[in-house]
């Protein structure tokens, strides 16, 4: 055991969202006896917030507080195999499973080529898992087809930062939440999805009446309830809104001309766009009053320190990168970056999505914030890995969506999915499920069984999860924490990186995977970050264990008594572009890829609920969180409901051009007219015919290749009267909201 404090509590971070709250996890009071009221046979580990963790200061939300309650439930303990999907799984040894996987990789590589191999990973990975997966696929198998579920979550933020600043990396830190004068939240239900970040902001806002908070969201979310002003814009009008604010900032002279002149490029093309964006038209397009638009521009212009926050509402869009860049434009034109309380801050969804960005966990990236399309970057990585020059293909790999098309076309012969559940989370999920069914050979590596995706697998590999393996994770503010293992994995489960490394050794690359433990893996990885924007070359497991969490950049030799030197990026206003200048982007809004139309007159938007995490693999198995949100539902505005004859709790059939689902109606003014909302947490294991993604489409941003999971066109049909039980659930959910 490592990383324990004096009370024998293990220090780690929460494995749910990208806030990365520090946790202290203590052994059960009496070993072998139940300590939980459910009377579970396995003792429950006690979880509390770690006051010493700089990101969360001891706070924790319901998901973090209850995380240990799922650790022993429905675990996949042994490798399993079957020849076809209509057969039952049989238990096999690791030897048999590895031999079968290696044989399939070799056969497919020899007959179809490396591009027929695909690995789909997860923001739940620790950095070591990502790194070894990348080294195996890109370094040894010469395939860039390693993509992760971050593609669905924040690849537009990556593309936006990279295009505007020359490299990825959120420039802000959580301290900015308590230093800002004006918080502009767009496309983020922070109160439910990043609760501890929101707590810090809300407390600052409450204590300081002069501090203003604006929330832009088609729903009146819990986040919007706390704001001074809620702009319920029409879905797909974010760029109009941002350009409209820019127009007013320019008209009223709230422009930092010396910052623009000295530290940016591309302003004139942007200025032309915003000159052409009349605020009156913007207000009409967005469906908001002009005076509210003006108020927001006034607050932005008059504030000394402006902080913007966003997450999936911006990223999950067919113009996600343009949205992100349009937001960054506002910061650049007003010089609101590189100083306390200011900057454009992307909140990452998953606990180590940031680590994935550092380690090359997307199919167009290489470790150390490098790009596959850059010949110098490829050469640097090839040299470091000791592989022949030209081994890394110059074209990016397939994204997960392209992999689905690849399965349909018979171009993918080997599919490996780890720590994620695409049979629920993919857009147009019925098509994705059908493609998965066609896969000639699918390995599914996860901690839990059953899951929806396991139904499409030929081989199941049991993965050790949080608390059972040691590795690092990076949160949204670039703080790296060592998450030490403190429990034994169940059965024969292994860490993801160990599984990838063993396959690599058996494929004949023993010298590339000669690691005794994850500390050695991390030691190798950080060397690849030396001199890069995300430099962590000064970090090691040992230093993180001794010192606690550390923020990057943290280069080799930087081990000084002062660890807190890197809170913000770009404090010298030098950006990572060749000329050192940040770039304006000039965009007109294109709107939704699938706007409402006479056949499908409503816009469906999807989102998350406070107590649930993604596809419920953990939270659905925890009594407290499962009870908070027991059933799916659809939010409908009262006037829309009245027009369609829908009453509270009534079953509503929701149809899109791709599929259908049925949800009980929740009638609420929290959703704008013409828009409906469905949570995305329910797959076919948890509810019948309630998959939000049966409705969504896969049109994607051309730059980030992130699909528009947030909006599609649907029709609604009332089909049945409410059941009493459902009405009670809906009423309880409504009360919880208010
Ligand atoms: Fe975990 Fe996120 Fe909740 Fe923190 S805010 S406890 S990281 S789910």
DSSP 631: S
CA 48–ligand 1 middle distance (angstroms): 12
Residue from 21, 311, 353 whose mutation best tests the ligand 1 pocket (most atoms within 8 A of CB): 21
CA of 19, closest atom in ligand 1:
7
Residue from 19, 69, 624 whose mutation best tests the ligand 1 pocket (most atoms within 8 A of CB): 19
Residue 146 parent element (H or E):
strand 146-148
CA of 60, closest atom in ligand 1:
6
R_g over Cα of the chain: 25
CA dist., res. 700 & res. 152, Å (int): 10
- With a 6 A CB cut-off, is 663 part of the ligand 1 pocket? no
Confidence of residue 561 (pLDDT cuts 50, 70, 90): very low
Which residues fall within 8 angstroms of residue 598, CB to CB, at 6 or more apart? none
- With a 6 A CB cut-off, is 23 part of the ligand 1 pocket? no
CA 59–ligand 1 middle distance (angstroms): 9
Q: 3-state SS string over 359-410?
A: HCCCCCEECCCEECCCHHHHHHHHHHHCCCCCCCCCCCCCCHHHHHHHHHCC
CA 279–ligand 1 middle distance (angstroms): 38
CA 118–ligand 1 middle distance (angstroms): 31
Q: Where are the beta strands (DSSP E) in 544-684?
A: 550-551, 582-583, 602-607, 634-636, 651-655, 660-667, 675-679
Residue of 420, 449, 463 lying closest to 146 (CA atoms): 420
pLDDT value for 216: 98
pLDDT value for 37: 47
DSSP 579: T
Q: What is the pLDDT of residues 570-587, one digit of tens each?
A: 999 999 999 999 999 999
Q: What is the pLDDT of residues 622-670, one digit of tens each?
A: 889 989 889 999 999 999 999 999 999 999 999 999 999 999 999 999 9
CA 735–ligand 1 middle distance (angstroms): 23
Q: Please list the alpha-helical segments (H only) found in 180-318.
A: 190-193, 195-207, 222-225, 238-251, 257-263, 267-275, 279-286, 290-302, 312-315
CB-based burial of residue 38 (10 Å sphere; 0-12 exposed, 13-18 middle, 19+ buried)? exposed
Confidence of residue 6 (pLDDT cuts 50, 70, 90): very low
- With a 6 A CB cut-off, is 49 part of the ligand 1 pocket? no
pLDDT value for 559: 60
Q: Are strands 651-655 and 634-636 parallel, antiparallel or unpaired?
A: unpaired
- With a 6 A CB cut-off, is 21 part of the ligand 1 pocket? yes
Straight-line distance from the first to the last Cα atom of the chain, in angstroms, rounded to the nearest whole number: 44
Section 254-279 average pLDDT: 98
Residue of 551, 547, 145 lying closest to 365 (CA atoms): 145
Range of weakest confidence among 123-132, 193-202, 598-607, 612-621? 612-621
pLDDT value for 3: 42
pLDDT value for 734: 58
Confidence of residue 556 (pLDDT cuts 50, 70, 90): confident
In degrees and rounded to multiples of 5, residue 235 shows phi and psi of -55, 140
Q: 3-state SS string over 165-203?
A: HCCCCCCCCHHHHHCCCEEEEECCCHHHHCHHHHHHHHH
pLDDT value for 1: 33
- With a 6 A CB cut-off, is 611 part of the ligand 1 pocket? no
Confidence of residue 737 (pLDDT cuts 50, 70, 90): low
In this prediction the pTM is 0.94
- With a 6 A CB cut-off, is 61 part of the ligand 1 pocket? yes
DSSP 658: S
Q: Do 238 and 186 contact (CB within 8 A), yes or no?
A: yes
CA of 56, closest atom in ligand 1:
4
- With a 6 A CB cut-off, is 63 part of the ligand 1 pocket? yes
For residue 170, pLDDT beyond 90? yes
Instruction: Give the three-class secondary structure for 716.
Output: strand
For residue 598, pLDDT beyond 80? yes
CA 408–ligand 1 middle distance (angstroms): 37
Residue 706 parent element (H or E):
none
CA of 65, closest atom in ligand 1:
6
Which residues fall within 8 angstroms of residue 696, CB to CB, at 6 or more apart? 427, 428, 429, 604, 606, 656, 658, 707, 708, 709, 712
CA of 20, closest atom in ligand 1:
7
Residue with tokens 């009423």: 731
CA 193–ligand 1 middle distance (angstroms): 8
- With a 6 A CB cut-off, is 195 part of the ligand 1 pocket? yes
Q: Answer with the residue of higher pLDDT: 40 or 440.
A: 440
Residue of 617, 733, 595 lying closest to 683 (CA atoms): 617
In degrees and rounded to multiples of 5, residue 186 shows phi and psi of -135, 130
For ligand 1, atom 4, the nearest C-alpha belongs to: 21
The residues that bridge with 665 in the sheet, in sequence order, are 634
Structure tokens of 7? 């009370």
Q: What is the pLDDT of residues 33-47, one digit of tens each?
A: 544 444 454 568 999
- With a 6 A CB cut-off, is 671 part of the ligand 1 pocket? no
- Cβ-count burial 270-279 (b if 16+ within 10 Å, e if not): bbebbeebeb
The residues that bridge with 415 in the sheet, in sequence order, are 118, 442
CA 432–ligand 1 middle distance (angstroms): 30
CA dist., res. 410 & res. 594, Å (int): 28
For ligand 1, atom 3, the nearest C-alpha belongs to: 61
Which residues fall within 8 angstroms of residue 66, CB to CB, at 6 or more apart? 47, 622, 624, 625
- 402-406: long-range contacts (C-beta < 8 A, 24 or more apart)? 402/705, 403/118, 403/120, 403/145, 403/147, 404/431, 404/432, 404/435, 404/436, 404/698, 405/435, 406/116, 406/118
CA dist., res. 384 & res. 382, Å (int): 5
CA 46–ligand 1 middle distance (angstroms): 16
Residue from 14, 190, 348, 609 whose mutation best tests the ligand 1 pocket (most atoms within 8 A of CB): 14
CA 291–ligand 1 middle distance (angstroms): 36
Instruction: Give the three-class secondary structure for 718.
Output: strand
Structure tokens of 48? 């509390």
In degrees and rounded to multiples of 5, residue 561 shows phi and psi of -60, -25
Structure tokens of 375? 């010949």
Q: What is the pLDDT of residues 302-325, one digit of tens each?
A: 999 999 999 999 999 999 999 999
CA dist., res. 482 & res. 648, Å (int): 47
Residue of 140, 19, 58 lying closest to 503 (CA atoms): 140
Q: What is the pLDDT of residues 687-718, one digit of tens each?
A: 999 999 999 999 999 999 999 999 999 999 99
CA of 351, closest atom in ligand 1:
7
The residues that bridge with 542 in the sheet, in sequence order, are none
């Amino acid at each position: 055991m490592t990383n324990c404090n004096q009370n024998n509590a293990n220090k780690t971070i929460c494995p749910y969202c990208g806030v990365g709250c520090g946790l202290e996890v203590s052994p059960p009071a009496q070993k072998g006896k139940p300590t939980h009221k459910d009377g579970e046979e396995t003792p429950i580990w006690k979880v509390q917030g770690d006051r010493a963790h700089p990101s969360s200061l001891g706070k924790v939300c319901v998901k973090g507080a209850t995380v240990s309650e799922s650790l022993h439930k429905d675990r996949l303990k042994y490798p399993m195999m079957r020849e076809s999907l209509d057969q039952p799984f049989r238990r096999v040894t690791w030897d048999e499973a590895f031999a079968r996987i290696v044989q399939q990789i070799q056969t497919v590589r020899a007959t179809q080529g490396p591009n027929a191999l695909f690995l789909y990973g997860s923001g739940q990975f620790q950095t070591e898992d990502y790194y070894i997966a990348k080294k195996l696929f890109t370094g040894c198998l010469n395939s860039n087809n390693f993509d992760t579920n971050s593609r669905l979550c924040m690849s537009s933020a990556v593309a936006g930062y990279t295009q505007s600043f020359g490299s990825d990396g959120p420039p802000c830190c959580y301290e900015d939440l308590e230093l800002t004068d004006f918080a502009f939240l767009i496309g983020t239900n922070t109160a439910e999805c990043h609760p501890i970040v929101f707590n810090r902001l809300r407390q600052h806002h409450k204590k300081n009446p002069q501090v203003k908070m604006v929330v832009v969201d088609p729903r009146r979310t819990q986040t919007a309830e706390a704001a001074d002003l809620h702009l319920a814009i029409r879905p797909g009008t974010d760029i109009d809104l941002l350009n409209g604010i820019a127009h007013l900032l320019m008209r009223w002279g709230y422009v930092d001309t010396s910052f623009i002149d000295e530290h940016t490029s591309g302003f004139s093309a942007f200025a032309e766009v915003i000159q052409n964006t009349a605020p009156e038209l913007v207000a009409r397009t967005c469906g908001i009053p002009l005076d509210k638009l003006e108020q927001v521009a006034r607050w932005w212009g008059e504030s000394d320190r402006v902080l913007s926050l966003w997450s999936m509402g911006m990223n999950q869009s067919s113009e996600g990168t343009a949205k992100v860049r349009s937001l960054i434009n506002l910061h650049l034109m007003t010089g609101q970056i590189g100083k306390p309380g200011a900057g454009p801050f992307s909140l990452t969804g998953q606990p180590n999505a940031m680590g994935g960005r550092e380690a090359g966990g997307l199919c167009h990236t290489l470790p150390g914030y490098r790009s596959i399309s850059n010949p110098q970057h490829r050469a640097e990585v090839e040299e470091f890995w000791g592989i022949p020059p030209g081994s890394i293909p110059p074209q990016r790999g397939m994204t997960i969506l392209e992999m689905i098309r690849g399965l349909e076309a018979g171009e993918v012969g080997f599919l490996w999915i780890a720590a994620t559940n695409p049979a629920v989370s993919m857009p147009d999920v019925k098509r994705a499920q059908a493609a998965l069914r066609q896969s000639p050979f699918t390995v599914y590596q996860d901690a839990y069984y059953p899951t929806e995706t396991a139904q499409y697998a030929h081989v199941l590999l049991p993965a050790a999860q949080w608390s059972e393996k040691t590795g690092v994770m990076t949160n949204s503010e670039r703080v790296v924490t060592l998450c030490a293992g403190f429990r034994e994995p169940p059965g024969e489960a292994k860490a993801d990186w160990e599984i990838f490394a063993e396959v690599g050794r058996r494929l004949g690359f023993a010298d590339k995977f000669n690691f005794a433990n994850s500390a050695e893996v991390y030691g190798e990885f950080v060397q690849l970050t030396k001199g890069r924007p995300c430099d962590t070359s000064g970090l090691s497991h040992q230093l993180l264990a001794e010192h606690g969490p550390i923020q990057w950049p943290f280069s080799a030799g930087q081990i000084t008594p002062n660890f807190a030197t890197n809170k913000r990026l770009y404090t010298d206003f030098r950006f990572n572009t060749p000329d050192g200048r940040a770039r304006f982007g000039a965009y007109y809004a294109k709107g939704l890829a699938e706007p409402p139309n006479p056949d499908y007159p409503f816009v469906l938007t999807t989102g998350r609920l406070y107590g649930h995490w993604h596809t419920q693999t953990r939270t659905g198995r925890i009594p407290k969180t499962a009870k908070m949100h027991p059933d799916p539902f659809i939010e409908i505005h009262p006037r829309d409901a009245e027009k369609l004859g829908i009453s509270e709790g009534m079953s509503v059939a929701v149809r899109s051009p791709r599929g259908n689902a049925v949800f009980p109606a929740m009638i609420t003014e929290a959703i704008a007219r013409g828009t409906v909302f469905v949570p995305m947490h329910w797959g076919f294991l948890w509810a019948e015919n309630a998959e939000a993604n049966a409705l969504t489409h896969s049109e994607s941003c051309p730059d980030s290749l992130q699909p528009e999971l947030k909006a599609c066109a649907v029709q609604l049909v009332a089909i049945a009267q409410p059941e009493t039980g459902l009405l009670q659930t809906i009423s309880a959910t409504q009360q919880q909201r208010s």
